[in-house]
Amino acid sequence: CSGFIKIRLKFLNDTEEVAVVRPEDTVGVLKSKYFPGQENQMKFIYRGQLLQDQGQTLRSLHITDNCVIHCHRSRSATAPLPDPGATLPDAGGFPLGTENMMVPTVMVVLAIVWYFRFNYRQLFTAPATVSLIGVAVLVSFVMFGIYGQ
């Protein structure tokens, strides 16, 4: 087979598949030839580098006969990475979003109330202290329920 090279495609479970390709073939051609319909799920790693440019030829990557390309299949198709030179449109509103700030805000308020409880005991009655313990436990359960998954 003149002009062809053999590449070993190695998977995470230590299985290998031999691919016969031309050095002029691109990463995208290799994916579509050996993983049809799964091109967006497949990630190739060669010499510790993720091969993201689908138009790059195997020759330009210095992939020669009997080289090993590590293959990883994602669980779901990933969207293409955004162009670093492109600017994102302004979403408006809060940059972090109010839903992202709710948990830290509740935790800070709870910490401040506990600070006052320990430093100004005369302001807190027994029912107020029990209520504070109850609120702290409730917030803890809610946080573990939301983020513990």
pLDDT tens by residue, 38-64? 888 889 999 989 988 888 998 999 998
Q: b/e string for 53-78 if b means 16 or more Cβ within 10 A?
A: eeeeebeebebeeeeebbbeeeeeee
Query: Does the pTM exceed 0.85?
Result: no
Listed in sequence order, the DSSP H helices in the chain are 27-34, 98-119, 126-147
pLDDT tens track for 5-39: 999 999 989 899 998 999 899 999 999 999 898 88
